[in-house]
């Protein structure tokens, strides 16, 4: 935690250890004591502007790949790229009079990742400001991270407002209010957390959090991580099993290499949305791909669909096989496994403590999953395609119930195993294992 030492102490230590050490200490001090206001504000602008420039560059490349620049203009392509960045930040956009409200979460995650990287660097560069580690531990107020986070979010939001003003046309008319809100959430939330970790403050603040809260958050984080992995695997399997349909769609579009590349980029942009759709299907509620349609483990009712290759992963229409209903057991087993692993690694002998940790972690994971599911859907086209997305409220109920019950059962089973002081269970299992035939 040398970055939190007082600068005078660092200079004194450097002089005591010789000129070479003093130069190293001076360089470290300069690197960790940059001016807070410009560093944080400029960092927020860079975090927003970097992905924005990438989107604009990709739009220009796509413009050349599709028709070699025969139609449109470079400024129009740049405007399209800016609209892509704005849509990733919650802005609705009109395409040929059709209002698109769906958010490509893949692009949003890319922006959040860039924000984390830049925010971490900003945190390192301002870590020398404020009181040192000892004074913070003694209760001294440290406003370094809150102030830097606020300035970082302001810099991010300014870029969003400028992008709205530059990309706006009478036909598209992006909405600046959602962009500002998302900019503050990404810049202040993701960027602020990155600044806290980069500056070393998080290492001081996190141990103050009660262990029960940290353990419940750990259970929720692991449940969500594994659940998203399972949902992605289910989506990939469904797509591979009906890959011929996706290939047929591409062939009917008569797409060349440039168009296929753009389609692949769009697919990657909406892949997290598709994973959340898959999650809703595995949980049981399912989702809709247009007005009057439903996709669930019990029945699938579809209508005319857009020619988009990823839709080949949808199950066949009609009553589903009997075994698909058993997919709803997956979240219960997953939560039980995760809660049991956490109980094994961080044992608590009290039944109430184990049950509370497993249940709280499961409920927290369910609420987090529902909050992300809200962002998965929206309008993607005219008419019936204005209603596409998972059934969010049902996802909330199913996720809380499945993850909560699984967390309680898994934690209590492992706790019971750990409290088996006389070894009765272990003795019986050992006897059964001894009776098994050996090779």
Which one, of 284, 274, 187, lies nearest residue 238 by Cα?
274
**Two tokens, residue 21:** 């050490």
Please report the DSSP string for 136-171 in residue order.
HHTT----HHHHHHHHHHHHHHHHHHHHHHHH--TT
Cα gap 204→243, rounded to integer Å: 51
Report the predicted TM-score, pTM, of the whole model to 2 decimal places.
0.86
Which one, of 433, 426, 425, 416, lies nearest residue 344 by Cα?
416
Quick one: CA dihedral 427, 431, 434, 437, positive or negative?
negative
> Using one digit for the tens of pLDDT, what is the confidence trace for 389-439?
999 999 999 999 999 999 999 999 988 887 765 455 556 667 667 777 765
pLDDT of residue 16: 44
Q: Are strands 287-289 and 98-100 parallel, antiparallel or unpaired?
A: unpaired
Q: What is the pLDDT along the chain (439 residues), one digit of tens a residue?
A: 334 544 444 444 444 444 445 666 666 666 666 788 899 999 999 999 999 999 999 888 877 777 666 666 778 888 888 999 999 998 887 776 778 889 999 999 999 999 999 999 999 888 877 765 566 666 667 788 899 999 999 999 999 999 998 888 777 778 889 999 999 999 999 999 999 999 888 888 888 888 889 999 999 999 999 999 999 999 999 999 988 888 888 888 777 777 787 888 889 999 999 999 999 999 999 999 988 899 999 899 988 888 888 998 999 888 888 888 899 999 999 999 999 999 988 887 688 888 999 999 999 999 999 999 999 988 888 878 888 999 999 999 999 999 999 999 999 998 888 776 545 555 666 766 777 776 5
Are 50 and 110 in contact, with CB atoms under 8 Å apart? no
For residue 119, count other CB atoms closer than 10 A to its CB: 31
Question: At a CB cut-off of 8 Å and minimum separation 6, what does 282 contact?
Answer: 230, 231, 234, 297, 327, 328, 330, 331
Domain edges within the chain: 1-33, 35-208, 213-428
Query: Can you tell me which residue has the tokens 């050490």?
Result: 21
> Using one digit for the tens of pLDDT, what is the confidence trace for 360-386?
999 999 999 999 999 998 888 887 888
Cα gap 14→26, rounded to integer Å: 8
């Amino acid at each position: 935690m040398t970055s939190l030492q007082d600068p005078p102490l660092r200079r004194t230590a450097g002089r005591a250890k010789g000129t070479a050490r003093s130069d190293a200490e001076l360089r470290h001090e300069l690197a960790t004591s940059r001016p807070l206001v410009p560093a944080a504000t400029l960092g927020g602008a860079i975090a927003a502007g970097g992905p924005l420039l990438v989107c604009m560059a990709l739009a220009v490349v796509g413009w050349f790949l599709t028709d070699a620049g025969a139609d449109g203009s470079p400024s129009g392509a740049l405007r399209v790229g800016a609209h892509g960045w704005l849509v990733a930040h919650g802005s609705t956009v009109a395409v040929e009079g059709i209002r698109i409200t769906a958010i490509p979460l893949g692009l949003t995650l890319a922006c959040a990742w860039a924000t984390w990287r830049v925010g971490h660097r900003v945190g390192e560069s301002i870590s020398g400001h404020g009181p040192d580690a000892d004074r913070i531990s003694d209760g001294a107020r440290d406003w370094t991270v809150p102030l830097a986070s606020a300035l970082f979010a302001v810099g991010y939001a300014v870029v969003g407002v400028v992008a709205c003003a530059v990309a706006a046309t009478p036909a598209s008319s992006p909405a600046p209010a959602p962009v500002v809100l998302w900019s503050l959430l990404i810049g202040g939330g993701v960027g602020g957390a990155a600044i806290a970790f980069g500056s070393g403050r998080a290492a001081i603040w996190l141990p103050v959090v009660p262990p029960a809260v940290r353990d419940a958050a750990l259970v929720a984080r692991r449940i969500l991580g594994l659940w998203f992995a399972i949902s992605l695997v289910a989506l990939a399997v469904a797509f591979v099993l009906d890959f011929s349909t996706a290939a047929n769609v591409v062939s009917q579009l008569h797409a060349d290499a440039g168009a296929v590349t753009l389609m692949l980029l769009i697919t990657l942009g909406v892949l997290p949305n598709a994973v959340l759709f898959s999650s809703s299907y595995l949980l049981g509620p399912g989702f809709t791909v247009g007005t009057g349609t439903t996709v669930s483990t019990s029945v699938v009712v579809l209508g005319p669909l857009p020619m988009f290759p990823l839709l080949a992963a949808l199950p066949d229409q009609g009553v589903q096989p009997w075994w698909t209903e058993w997919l709803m057991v997956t979240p219960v087993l997953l939560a039980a496994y995760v809660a049991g692993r956490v109980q094994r690694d961080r044992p608590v002998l009290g039944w109430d403590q184990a049950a509370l940790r497993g249940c709280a972690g499961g409920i927290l994971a369910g609420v987090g999953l529902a909050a992300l599911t809200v962002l998965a859907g929206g309008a993607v086209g005219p008419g019936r395609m204005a209603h596409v997305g998972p059934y969010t409220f049902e996802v909330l109920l199913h996720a809380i119930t499945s993850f909560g019950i699984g967390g309680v059962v898994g934690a209590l089973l492992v706790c019971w195993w750990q409290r088996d002081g006389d070894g009765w269970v272990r003795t019986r299992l050992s006897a059964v294992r001894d009776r098994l035939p050996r090779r």
